[in-house]
Structures are given as structure tokens and as C-alpha cells.
Amino acid sequence: MAVPSVHELILRRRSGRAIASDPVDRGTIETMLEAARWAPSSGNAQPWRFVVVDEQPALQEARNALKPGNKTWAASAPILLIICANPADDYDVNGQQLYLFDSGLAVQNLLLQGIHLGLVVHPMAGWDEDAMRQAIALPLPYRIMCVVAAGYPAPITVLSEELQKRETAVRSRKELAEIRYFNRWSS
């Protein structure tokens, strides 16, 4: 029997950096958030919250809160999506802090839906915590899990030469044989 292939949307998803500053309407963003909210979560705890940053002055403040390496390309994005979660919404089983895991599942749904809608969507961990919290007026005990830059694709030439090289570099993953075991772990 032929081995089934991976869904093309999963293969097509990538973290692009060439993002046009053209606006993205809120309906499109809400569809991404709909996809995110249908993610599975431990105990159906749904620890995630989403802050859509698409208007000034919050947008500029959030852009300023990005680490310099991200600012160079992500500052053109018309939308920054800030995925937050409350550690108290954790439905934990073995001390794994599953609210972090749950949030990741929601972000992946969001990313895939964004790609499906023709957007560039790029998850980031590089931000200044205090500045980003202040930009979106995030109350405690919420924590920022991820910031996703989103927008329509721009020509790659909007990027610096160095980033163009990264953008066109061959994407790589560990071979399955390196990361997969059957039945028992083996070294």
C-alpha cells in the first residue's frame, strides 16, 4: 500500500519574512483566531488569549518591543498577534505545565490557517518582555507565549541581502530516523 503523503498545507507553511504593509482585514484575522480556538487543550482548559495589534499607537509600541533582529523585517507587518496564556488555566497531569503545550497547539492552528488564507505568518520568541506587556496593557498573571507577525507577501527584495539569503535557503529538518523510535527508546 502506498504511504500517504503529508498534507500540502503543512509542507507549504514556512516562517516567511517578506511582509507587505498593506492592511489585513479583521475578518481574515478572526478566521485565524477561530482556527486557533478549535485547537485541543488538556482538560479543554483553553488557556490562550489573543491580542490583535493592528492600530496605532499600540502597533508601534509592539513593534518597538521586538528584539532588534526581528524588528528589521517584522516592523513592516500590519498585524502583530500576541498569544497570551494564564498559568492558572493549566490542566496539569505530571507537572509539565500543559498550558504552554496547549498554547503551542493553538498557535500552529493559527499559522496553518494564515498560510491557507495566503498570508505570511511568522512566529517569534524575540521580544522585550516588559515593553511588550506595556504595549498591550497585559495584566498579570497572563504571560506572553508567542508573537506572530502577519501580513500579505511582499517581494523578497524588500529584505536585506542577508535576509534574502535566509529566505531562499534550503529548509531543513532532522531525519525521521534520528527522532523516531518504535516501541522503546533506543540509543
* Chain positions contacting ligand FMN, by CB under 6 A: 14-15, 70, 123-126, 146, 171
Q: Which is nearer to ligand FMN, 1 or 169 (CB)?
A: 169
| CA pair distance 45, 50, nearest whole angstrom | 15
The Cβ-side half-sphere exposure at 125, using a 13 Å CA radius, reads: 1
Q: Which is nearer to ligand FMN, 125 or 156 (CB)?
A: 125
Distance, CA of 114 to CA of 110 (rounded, Å): 6
The b/e string for 136-159 (b: 16+ C-beta within 10 A; e otherwise) is bebeeebbbbbbbbbbbebeeebb
Nearest-approach distance from CB 1 to ligand FMN, in angstroms: 29
Nearer to ligand FMN, 121 or 136 (CB): 121
Residue nearest to ligand FMN (CB): 126
Smallest gap from Cβ 140 to ligand FMN, in A, equals 22
Q: Which is nearer to ligand FMN, 7 or 14 (CB)?
A: 14
Nearest approach, Cβ of residue 108 and ligand FMN (Å): 9
Q: Which is nearer to ligand FMN, 75 or 124 (CB)?
A: 124
SS3 68: helix
Give me the least distance between CB of 90 and ligand FMN, in Å please.
Answer: 18
Provide the minimum distance between the beta carbon of 107 and ligand FMN in the complex, in angstroms, as a whole number: 7
Residue 28 Cα distances to 8, 36, 84, 94, 151, angstroms: 21, 13, 20, 37, 10
